[in-house]
Structure 1
Amino acid sequence: MNPIDQLIMERRSIKKFKPDTVDVEEIIDLLNIAKWAPNHKVNEPWRFQLYAGAGKEKFVQAFLDSMKTPDGDIPQKALNKAQYFRDIPLHLVAIMPVDPRQRRFDEDYGALSSMLQNFQLAAWQRGIGMIWRSNDWIYNPVFREAIGVEPGEKIVATMMMGYPAHVPEKQARTDIREKLEIIDQ
């Protein structure tokens, strides 16, 4: 098996991270590698926010504010999740412009998704794990405004990353022959 095939098949989504700091410059280097994803007319339809160190609290507070009930309380489940977020070394928010033309939107979304997969693979090769999150709260106007996401922009992912404390076992995948229709006439 060649190294790229092996890397693709071995990458896992990581939910438990070591507390070790991840060098921000290494993340920048990885993003500079990942940007070579295919994107229509090389329009690079992305921007990023990286929350590190004390800056993570802005991300966590935006999350907590978006979880407030109408009477201003924050559910215990959200408080627990906030502590989990604080314990993760880095949070990367991937943002794209929302083009009203469906084709351009689809091309941009595909480009950013490809870029994020490149990022995950390059990071995995260096021992950095992550999980791609697209939870309901990224659509919450309170969260979006708190982190500076403008109208006309879409949060595609929050990539939570660090060195893996636990690597899950691989899960079975369906043989592609069951999902493939070959039209040869």
Structure 2
Amino acid sequence: MQVVKQQTELAKLIRARRSIKKGYNNKMVTEETVTELLEGAIWAPTHGMRQPWRFIFVGENQKQDFAKKIASTYPEERQANREDYLNEPNAILVVIMEEGENQKKQDENFGATACMIQNFQLLAWEQQLGVVWKTNPHIYDPNVEKILDVQENERIIGFLHMGFFDEQPEKKDRIPVADKFTTFQVG
């Protein structure tokens, strides 16, 4: 039996999506847009229906103060650079995850949160909203956790930098599945 290779709209969307790291235009990313995207994104698979995520939205009106506070956790010689960096996107969504009580639940919660982030990125892409998942050193900094009121049983998974864009980055090829695929052999 030969499989016919037809690309569905979803398959096309998955292959078209890019991480948008810079080159944002001036169109505002609103809290309403982000919450609407999250309403769809949270339908990610989640073990035990734990839905271990929560979010902090940093919009245009909060961005400068936010960037200054987060940058202040860096050594003085890096603060201006980090502040500029955090002011570059039009908005930021901080994703915080509830930690699991053991390694299995920790891994399950991270997997669910990563799936939710992928859903968010795909839904955003449909609206020409660029997103990149950032895991800079500050997400592991206890001072940043304190600024963001991250609880003892939580951790920051990343900052999603967001912005509308005019130019799409070029596609970067993936390693073919055949190069990474094997079949288990009894033996």
TM over 0.5: yes
**Alpha-carbon distance in 2 for matches of 1:31, 1:92:** 10
* Secondary structure in 2 matching 1:26: helix
- AA partner of residue 164 (structure 1): F
Counterparts of 2:166 and 2:87, CA distance in 1: 15
Runs of 4+ in 1 over 3 A off after TM superposition: none
Report how far residue 184 of structure 1 moved: 6.2
- Paired residues of 2:72 and 2:79 also in contact (CA < 8 A): no
Distance 1:153 1:59 in 2: 20
Per-residue CA deviation, residues 24-65 of structure 1 (Å, 9 max, x unaligned), is 211101000000000012111000000012212342123211
Tell me, which stretches of 5 or more residues in structure 2 are unaligned?
1-6
Question: Are positions 1:42 and 2:49 aligned together?
Answer: yes
Quick one: which amino acid aligns to residue 148 of structure 2? I
SS at match of 1:30: helix
Residues 87/142 of structure 1: CA separation in 2 closer, same or farther (3 Å cut): same
2:3 aligned residue: none
How far is the alpha carbon of 1:154 from its aligned partner?
0.9
Aligned-residue sequence identity (percent) comes to 32
Aligned to 2:125: 124
Q: Partner of 1:145 in structure 2?
A: 146
Alpha carbons 2:21, 2:131 under 8 Å: kept? yes
Cα deviation digits, residues 128-185 of structure 1 (max 9, x gap): 0111001111111111111211222111110000102432111111101111111266
Matching residue of 1:108: 109
- Separation (CA, whole Å) in 2 of partners of 1:155 and 1:64: 16
Q: Of the two structures, which has the highest relative contact order with CA contacts closer than 8 Å and spacing of 6 or more?
A: 1
SS at structure 1 position matched to 2:72: helix
Distance 1:148 1:61 in 2: 17
How big is the alpha-carbon RMSD for the aligned residues of Structure 1 and Structure 2? 1.5
The aligned residue for residue 183 of structure 1 is: 184
Contact 1:130-1:161 at 8 Å conserved across structures? yes
Question: Retained in 2: the 8 A contact 1:63–1:143?
Answer: yes
Letter in 2 for 1:18: N
Q: What secondary structure does 1:53 align onto? A: coil
* Alignment match, 2:9: 3
- TM-score scaled by length of structure 1: 0.91
Residue 125 of structure 1: how far off its partner (Å): 0.6
For residues 177 and 59 of structure 1, the distance between their equivalents in structure 2, rounded to whole angstroms, comes to 45
Equivalent residues, number: 179
Counterpart residue number, 1:32 = 39
Partners of 1:132 and 1:105 lie apart in 2 by 19
CA distance in 2, matches of 1:82, 1:167: 25
- Aligned counterpart in structure 1 of residue 63 of structure 2, from 56, 63, 68: 56
